[in-house]
Amino acid sequence: MRPPHPVRAALSLAVLLASGLGLAAAPSAGAAEPASRTLTADSRFYVDPGSKAAQQALTDLKAHDLAGAKAMAQLASWPVAQWFNGTATPQQTTDAMAALQTKAARARQVPVTVAYNVPGRDCSQYSAGGAANSAEYAQWIDALARGIGDRTTVVVLEPDGLALSPAFCGGTAAQQQDRLAEIGAAVDRLAQQRGALVYLDGGHSGWQNVGTQAQLLIDAGVDRATGFFLNVSNYMTDASLVRYGTLVSKCVWYLEHNPGATADSCANQYWPDADADAWYAANVPADAKLTHFVIDSSRNGQGPWTPPAGKYTDAQTWCNPPGRGLGTRPTSATGVPLLDAYLWIKVPGESDGSCTRGTAGPADPEYGTVDPVAGGWWPEQALTLARNATPKLTFNLGH
């Protein structure tokens, strides 16, 4: 007898636990939706039936942890991005992307993908790595693009690739120019695929100044992309991100249309709201065509962590902060004109790295254990995120 599929087994249990709560409809067979350069308000994002959360649900079920199985089954019912990080050969990368496209097409869903392999990735921090050089990176991007084919696909291009580019971690001017050129070339190659929706790194509301981030986006070719993304693997609130993204978008327009202007000309996120709004009202037309963005809401349901005052020399608030929760569910029906979608880009339950918070380590003093390496699955964190979800976690019934 063939063993049950992890998510199906867990969801079957969860049906009983949920006292009649319905589940997401099974994927429908048939041709894929026509490729599109935009996300519509009714876009449905791809749900991986073999996700880590689905596997965890089955593990919990086997251990007779019914509450954990239900929480993980609920988590597994929501769409999460698929990451491509350069660990495979170019041909394997093409094949993996093509296989994803086939599965998403059968489900009539749009895959959300992450390209994470730029040389010098993550400035030698927990997720360091990337292609050996620009030529190798270009070859890898080409492989990724060939796998996309003509399908509508969201491509989140290089998280931290701009906000944490060499200029901000001790790199040289030449290294910074290489980074901008690498990402710009990737935009151009991916844009050859008629359904590729390419978003560039916009950092988040607690990071780079609006003007600095806007100039980085311009220099990397955001005018040739679909837009930019915010908050990948971070915890900033939706409200602060919508505000920041709107300001960045307006600053991009201003800098592009005023050649003599400098990045620090733009009103930024630290100005009083009324003053910033007045500045943009005076400098950006109401009917200006502005750059769109998406938000990673996978772990921002409780907002950012505020560590106890004086407890750490380096609290690493971005690294596995305690007590966080899932945020707004993935959807393209955002109600915000410039916001194309809320997405779960960071995989909920995957570690940010083996955090030590300025201590000698190796244990994370917040947990008393050694955190999994960056990208490693952490069942306890996944369960915490599910239990602390805002809004409350339910099964995905409509996507």
The CATH number given to whatever domain includes residue 290 is: 3.20.20.40
**What does the pLDDT read at residue 399?**
55
Cα of first residue to Cα of last residue in the chain, in angstroms, is 31
Q: Is 18 within a domain?
A: no
Query: Which of 125, 62, 78, 159 is closest to 349 using CA atoms?
Result: 78
Measure the CA dihedral 141/144/145/150, to 10°. -170
78 is in an annotated binding site: no
Residue 8 pLDDT more than 70?
no
140 is in an annotated binding site: no
Q: Where does the pLDDT of residue 61 fall: very low under 50, low under 70, confident under 90, or very high at 90 and above?
A: very high
- Residue 87 neighbours by CB under 8 Å, 6+ apart: none
Cβ contact 103:73 at 8 Å: no
**What does the pLDDT read at residue 73?**
98
190-208 mean pLDDT: 98
Q: Is 355 within a domain?
A: no
Alpha carbons 330 and 154: distance in angstroms, whole number: 13
25-37 mean pLDDT: 47
Alpha carbons 293 and 287: distance in angstroms, whole number: 18
- DSSP secondary structure letters along 331-372: BS--S-TTEEEEE--S-TTB------TTSS-SSBTTTTBPPP
205-222 mean pLDDT: 98
Alpha carbons 103 and 29: distance in angstroms, whole number: 10
DSSP conformation class of 43? -
Residue ranges in 107-172 assigned as alpha helix (H) = 134-148
**What does the pLDDT read at residue 19?**
34
The whole domain housing 119 covers 36-51+80-303+313-347
Cβ contact 166:123 at 8 Å: yes
Q: Is 69 within a domain?
A: no
Alpha carbons 79 and 92: distance in angstroms, whole number: 23
Alpha carbons 215 and 131: distance in angstroms, whole number: 25
Query: Residue 230's beta-bridge partner residues?
Result: 295
Cβ contact 252:217 at 8 Å: yes
Per residue in 340-378, pLDDT tens? 999 999 999 999 999 999 999 999 999 999 999 999 999
Element housing 175 (H / E): helix 173-190
Residues tagged active-site? 122, 160, 352
High-pLDDT (> 90) share of the chain, %: 88
**What does the pLDDT read at residue 35?**
57
158 is in an annotated binding site: no
Q: What is the average pLDDT value for the chain, to the nearest integer?
A: 92
Residue ranges in 208-342 assigned as alpha helix (H) = 210-220, 238-257, 273-283
State the total domains in the chain: 1
Q: Is 118 within a domain?
A: yes
Per residue in 332-347, pLDDT tens? 999 999 999 999 999 9
Query: Which of 206, 225, 218, 196 is closest to 101 using CA atoms?
Result: 196
Chain centre distance of CA 380: 21
Measure the CA dihedral 156/27/70/239, to 10°. 40
Alpha carbon of 286 to those of 28, 263, 271, 289: distances in Å? Answer: 42, 21, 20, 9
Q: Is 119 within a domain?
A: yes
Q: Is 213 within a domain?
A: yes
Residue 258 pLDDT more than 90?
yes
Alpha carbons 55 and 26: distance in angstroms, whole number: 18
Per residue in 114-158, pLDDT tens? 999 999 997 767 677 899 999 999 999 999 999 999 999 999 999
SS3 state of residue 253: helix
207 is in an annotated binding site: yes
pTM of the shown model: 0.92
On the 0-12 / 13-18 / 19+ scale of CB atoms within 10 A, 123 is middle
305 is in an annotated binding site: no
148-173 mean pLDDT: 97
350 is in an annotated binding site: yes
How many other CB atoms are found less than 10 A from the CB of residue 225? 25
- Residue 302 neighbours by CB under 8 Å, 6+ apart: 235, 323, 324, 325, 388, 390
Element housing 16 (H / E): helix 6-17
Q: Where does the pLDDT of residue 22 fall: very low under 50, low under 70, confident under 90, or very high at 90 and above?
A: very low
**What does the pLDDT read at residue 318?**
95
Cβ contact 211:169 at 8 Å: no
Q: Is 25 within a domain?
A: no
SS3 state of residue 84: strand
378 is in an annotated binding site: no
Q: Is 20 within a domain?
A: no
